[in-house]
Structure 1
């Protein structure tokens, strides 16, 4: 007779930023200790951690020390060196999500191959190396591979350059400009994306990047950007929070509203996509899916195998937040309810301004934000406040009973927030598309 799983009293998190901070805050409310691995002694999560292993996020020796202090380890972000973690997993270290489930999700190429494998909607795409008529590896073959470490699920292919420099790059049949180029690994908040308007732009891109590290996608017309945060526990139960609408400022999330102003059919379709991914991957933990929504319906833009900025609103808006749920799942506790407990909510990111505020100015502005009706302020305590950097967020409860009423509330409250804490007018894009 199998021994029942005993919930854990302590968990580990690789990472020490704001996501780890909010995971630690949720864990404290559940009476669970959190140990973290992070390089900076001043990182946001450090004050809330039971202990800190100071080391870079790709330091497997630090992760081994972290494992000695807890029963299971989770991740703040997906950019982990899986080849270094597989030996730890083979020695019994428990990672949530599991490494095999993470493997196809840590690169955009892997995500696109997975979506094609599962017949889930996403923009048509191809590997940048295909402009030199290089055949792409079979997605089915890649996804069936269980080899680790060194699995092609997560490791970039060998860089390819045409033998003759004068070879002219050509789009595969069925594709035309404009296109969007995306770095396969590491891009976020607008980094690692480059519009490719024409042949000249394509050739310029090829002068700066390794083709095997990038993909090209068709441009998708859309009316809204949506996101769904979902979760799956150790027993295979799946739950989803309400679908949300997101709005971007210079490719960085500006605000999120819950629920999204879409019909039930759209919400149901998004939940089905999430359930297919979670179940098909045998994924355990919280996961977020970003969608384009427009004339072609829902199209998956990106998958984040972790807690997500679009889910911060769940702290005040839902019975169990994404952070408390991740802690519950990692610790082996029963999942909480993902149902809303308010008619609606608006989450606004507080981004670093062009001119750094004095401590007095910052205190006054944060106090004014916290005094707004239905406001809940979260300040991350970051040491540096570069323009466009996420320094905190503000969640405001919406009371309107209809979508139209809540939209009016959203517009009024957003104007108040931006009067106190404006958006940075210009966020300097990376000079190098690889940044």
Structure 2
């Protein structure tokens, strides 16, 4: 008996996903809900849990392949086929109708086995493997560990590309300490071990990104347009050719904001909360949107309506290794400065890890992008589709500035506001920008606003 697991609809309406890596190999025993693969959609890297328990019979795709939703990803069967958990009835019906299975609904509880003796034998085998693994983990990782003849050691968990990489270097994976999720041995683990024992890179080791290929004259590199880069490009083109963009600039003296940030950083009661200029700017934006509702609206062409939001779902543009993404802080207008700072910190950490869930990148009503972190003074940010405005924060610079009738060195920042001219007139955009600037110039003014 065998069971096929098809790539499910991941809840984004996307037709395919790229297989980033396998977390299991053919012949592995897999438990129900164990993560078996990482796939990259246009929005995030997602770990797929197994809806079955059993033996991996066949992996139908390799890392780097683009798999269509509904296509068979992995087949379970072989020696453990009879112990495979039943598929939910909804999934069987969906497959009968050649419909796309959905990730929600996979992972139902396995049926109770009518063979207690088999369960007992499996438990004893698991205990033996666990004991052997414990011995291995207790031993120095550079040591050669003799395996008992009665029971082979459990195979170290890694992906097929990593197994091949280690094999090319002549390295036994059993000697490597895993740092990946749930004890997974990564390529970096193999490289670190190789460096420690003085081994060089494998002469014929494949490049990390199999989808990257040199051009005909080997002076160019061609990369397929997919994932985040593809969707970002499509969204930006759609935005640029749908919404008439206008960008306006305003340079602001934020010396008082910098003093506030420094004082909050020195406050021991706020230790652990990273309250920076970005958090203060986010708070200023939320306050200003309350008085400039046209910047917190959407143009609904299909309904022939302008939709004004009475809440702020604040999008934060984040540059990651996978490309630009815009995760959202829901109801940011209801948060305190400390809560906003914490939300920004958590958002950035998840974005850098590439694990931002698709649901966290939808529903934004206004966005902020911070190109100041790259030392850039100003720019013309492109609207996130469906939003009326986006504010760009430039770098903080120390400049001679007029203050109280004299010239003094002050901390200044240039704000760049792009807005949809269908929704926002120039006067409204200017008022919003000035309202944000006033809070950054005198953060105490926020006490007077609601």
Same-fold call, TM > 0.5?
Answer: no
Larger radius of gyration: 2
TM-score (norm 2): 0.20
TM-score (norm 1): 0.21
The answer to which structure has the higher helix fraction is 2
